[in-house]
Amino acid sequence: MIVQIYETQHASEARQLEAVGVDHIGVLVGRGRYARELQPPQARGIFQAITRARRVALSLADDLEDVSEVVAQTRPDILHLGTVPEALGPEAVVTLKRRFPDLQLMRTIPVINEQSLLVAQQYDSLVDYLLLDTYQPGDTQVGATGAPHDWDLSRRIARTVHTPVILAGGLGPQNVADAIRTVRPAGVDSKTHTDRDGGPFKDIEKVRAFVRIAKSLQLDRGASP
């Protein structure tokens, strides 16, 4: 079970996340359009401190050149496209793969209704991971709401596509076991519910509990509940 944690703020925190078993360590990178974004040099410094986990750069940009700049300046293992799908579609993914052939790509899919299944299928086998997340209508980004979505719909998506699915959206130690049993994803993601109360930094004990619970549930994704 892949465990992905957002949004680390500094190198020492990244090393702590790595030490408790996090597989994907994510940083939100950009030019300051979103309040939580780190500048590319900050993100690169964090990535340089990581020795085992995969380095994930989350971009909420809706401009392909801005996204390419993030990759060039931070050199992540995985680029995570978090803007709404209509802003950067499958053709943008093809361009990124051509520009950065060694880069893995993750695409956020907003889990809303039946249309979400079709959106996921557009990216199936085109990207390396699909991240299923909660969407707030009107937002230009997907996720970071702190709220779960329809896990039954997420399970249908996970069973339909061949690409590994990472489940996000309001997950923390309190509900990750139920989420995994319902959806049977390849991985789980947490941001809001593993943050410290009142601040942007990670609560390492919450992360430790999240990792322990998630990795204790190695379920057969094709089996019935």
pLDDT of residue 222: 45
Per the CB < 8 A criterion, the answer to whether 142 and 84 are in contact is yes
- pLDDT of the chain, 225 residues: tens digit per residue: 999 999 999 999 999 999 999 999 999 999 878 778 999 999 999 999 999 999 999 999 999 999 999 999 999 999 999 998 988 999 999 999 999 999 999 999 999 999 999 999 999 999 999 999 988 776 666 666 667 889 999 999 999 999 999 999 999 999 999 999 999 999 999 999 999 987 789 999 999 999 999 999 866 544 444
Q: Where are the alpha helices (DSSP H) in 124-201?
A: 151-160, 176-183
Homologous superfamily (CATH) of 2-215 is Aldolase class I (3.20.20.70)
Cα(30)–Cα(24) distance, rounded to whole angstroms?
19
Give the angle 79-80-86 at the CA atoms, nearest 5°: 120
pLDDT of residue 128: 98
Within 13 Å of residue 192, how many CA atoms lie on the same side as its CB?
Answer: 13
Tell me, yes or no, if the pTM score tops 0.85. yes
Pick the closest to residue 207 from 13, 11, 1 (CA basis).
13
Per the CB < 8 A criterion, the answer to whether 142 and 123 are in contact is no
